[in-house]
């Protein structure tokens, strides 16, 4: 988990997204328990209701599930669900702003595509 919260987005969304990051990184594996709302509240000095809101968001998305009387656990296939969710948001949160910025810089569509292919190639070389 990241060390601290920013004021750039709502705290419960940050809590949800930090848990998702940690699921993708394998910090929490399938069928493993994630921190409780009180543990999250203590770790980040936030209201437990806010932490619970973040966790409930992931429950609604099928990423976490509740074992009554024990706590919250990572659902089977959670990693894939997080990826799917982020792929669905990728266009709105990355591609459209990218196109908008390139347009304001006077880069045409082809110039942008060329840059993207270059970045893709360089990424392949890095691997």
Partner 1 sequence: MTTTMDGVLSARGVCKSYGALEVLKDLDLDILPGKIYGLIGRNGAGKTTLLGVLTAQNTLDSGSVTLDGEPVWENQRALDKLCFSRELQASLFTGQNTLKVRHYLRSAAAFWPGWDQAYADRLLREFRLDPKKKICQLSKGQMSMVTILLALASRAPITILDEPAAGLDVVMRERFYQLLLEDYAETGRTFLVSTHIIEEAASVFEDVIILDEGKILESCPTEELIAQFHYISGHEDEVDRVCRGLQVLSTHQMGRHKTCAVRGEMVKLRDAEAADVDIAPMNLQKVFVALCGHGDEQP
Residues binding partner 1 (CB under 8 A): 5, 7-12, 38, 41-42, 44-50, 53, 100, 104
CB of 24 to partner 1, least distance (A): 25
Nearer to partner 1, 24 or 112 (CB): 112
CB of 70 to partner 1, least distance (A): 17
Closest CA to 73 of 88, 63, 83: 63
Between CA 74 and CA 30 the distance in angstroms is 5
Nearer to partner 1, 13 or 119 (CB): 13
Between CA 85 and CA 52 the distance in angstroms is 20
């Amino acid at each position: 988990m990241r060390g601290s919260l920013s004021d750039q987005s709502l705290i419960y969304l940050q809590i949800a997204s930090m848990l998702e990051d940690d699921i993708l990184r394998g910090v929490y594996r399938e069928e493993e328990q994630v921190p409780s709302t009180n543990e999250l509240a203590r770790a980040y000095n936030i209201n437990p209701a806010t932490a619970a809101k973040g966790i409930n968001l992931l429950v609604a998305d099928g990423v976490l599930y509740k074992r009554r009387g024990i706590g919250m656990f990572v659902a089977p296939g959670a990693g894939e669900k997080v990826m799917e969710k982020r792929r669905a948001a990728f266009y709105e949160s990355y591609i459209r702003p990218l196109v908008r910025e390139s347009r304001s810089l006077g880069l045409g569509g082809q110039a942008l595509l060329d840059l993207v292919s270059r970045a893709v190639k360089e990424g392949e070389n890095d691997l």
